[in-house]
Amino acid sequence: MKIQHRETERHVLTILVDNEAGILAKIAGLFTARGYNIDSLTVADITENHAVSRITIVTNGPPAVIDQIQAQLERLVPVHKVIDLTEEGPHVERELALIKVAGQGENRVEALRLADVFRAKVVDTTTQSFIFELTGAPDKIDSFVALMRELGLVEVGRTGVVGMTRGPEGA
């Protein structure tokens, strides 16, 4: 018998939750327990009184599974709301990355030149290295990291995606 694999879609989910102990473990655990995928996950508290956190999860799966993920998340008591940004339509996705590149001579100049093209900021520098700070959609960061790989990439740190629907309406 062979295990069958199905076509998957990428979806960005925004989840508003009560900011209580264990909620992140509950959500992350739900994904592992039911065999769902997490491509990235970010979380931070977003209200003045620290009562609500906003979690953004990038996941992938067949459409029926994405619907099931949303239903399973909504079933958790501390979850207020789940928004599938991909389903909602036009939205903004942003990610922040720190990228360390080491090198000398032409490579170093080229790295700086490309950083300028990508509007990356230099946040640390030595005579042998830079740390760039780059914000953008995940694709843009992927491209920049790919270019830096040829120029002495040392390490990359990424926050994962946060997203928001376009237009005046709130979540």
C-alpha 168/C-alpha 119 separation (Å) is 27
Cβ 39 to other proteins, closest distance in Å?
A: 22
C-alpha–C-alpha distance, residues 139 and 161, integer Å:
11
Q: Which is nearer to other proteins, 65 or 161 (CB)?
A: 65
To other proteins, the closest distance from the beta carbon of 69 in angstroms equals 9
CB of 33 to other proteins, least distance (A): 5
Which residue's entry shows tokens 């093209």?
117
Look at residues 74, 60, 63, 64 and name the one whose alpha carbon lies nearest to residue 26: 74
Structure-block tokens of residue 92: 């903004």
Closer CB to other proteins, residue 27 or residue 114?
Answer: 27
> Least distance from C-beta 76 to other proteins, angstroms?
8
Contact assessment for residue 118 and residue 110, using Cβ atoms and an 8 Å cutoff: no
If the CB atoms of residues 36 and 118 are measured against other proteins, the closer one turns out to be 36
Which residues contact other proteins by CB under 8 A? 18, 21-22, 25-26, 29-30, 33, 64, 67-68, 71-72, 74-78, 80
